[in-house]
Amino acid sequence: MRVLVTRPEPGAAKTAARLHKMGHEAVVAPLSRVVAVEGATKPVGAFDAVAVTSANALISASSPLLEVIRTLPCFAVGERTAEAAKDAGFEDVGSAGGDVHDLAAMITTRLSRDAEVLYLCGTRRRPVLEDALRDAGFGVTPVETYGIEPVRYGAAERNKLIAGAPLDAMLVYSRFSAELLSDFLGDRGDLRVLCMSRHVADGLSHSLRKSAEIASAPTEDSLLALLSRASR
């Protein structure tokens, strides 16, 4: 299958490599880019743990920030984020398996209810983890280490990317990418769009949303499992 990969780098290249091993052709067209937030530092105060819902938050974090927090326990939303935490120097790392609600549940079972959590995050996010932890009695302090910017393609560049054999499927990882994909492809309803979650799919245009398929869990493994079923 010929598969469009829309996620930003460095994740896009890793996904392309996985697709190649599965026997597919990857068309890499990141629709957004990760931009580090300059000057993100640890807030004043004592913290009991770090929470992370995206590997980008760790990749974009400055060395001075990581230096003062990597001795804390780190709770990551999934395996990829947990690996990024270990790469960043955290030794006590727990993975919730890929879902933000599971991450909140893991934190509430492992920390006392008066604990203070430092949340490494992006400027564009839903406050799901923050709300869940605060409702459970935790203190949560967000530290925004990265932002997401759109990548704009001209008509000639876009046509070059998708030239050749027709695209068989598109992988969409975020609500923002879904919105950008609708602009990238136009109002077409004949394309198979595989989305990380229902929230992601809701960002698509009406015609693209009609053909969207939703992963059983918000992980790349589940997303690629959809692709495997589609290829049979």
Q: For the chain, which residues make up each domain, given as ranges?
A: 2-31+151-231, 35-148
Residue 228 has pLDDT above 50, yes or no: yes
8 A C-beta contact, residue 49 and residue 104: no
Residue 231 has pLDDT above 50, yes or no: no
* Rounded Cα distance, 67 and 18, in Å: 32
pLDDT score for 219: 87
Q: Would the CATH topology of 2-31+151-231 be identical to that of 35-148?
A: yes
Residue 166 has pLDDT above 90, yes or no: no
Decide yes or no: CATH 3.40.30.10 for domain 2-31+151-231.
no
Q: Could you say which architecture CATH assigns to the domain 35-148? A: 3-Layer(aba) Sandwich (3.40)
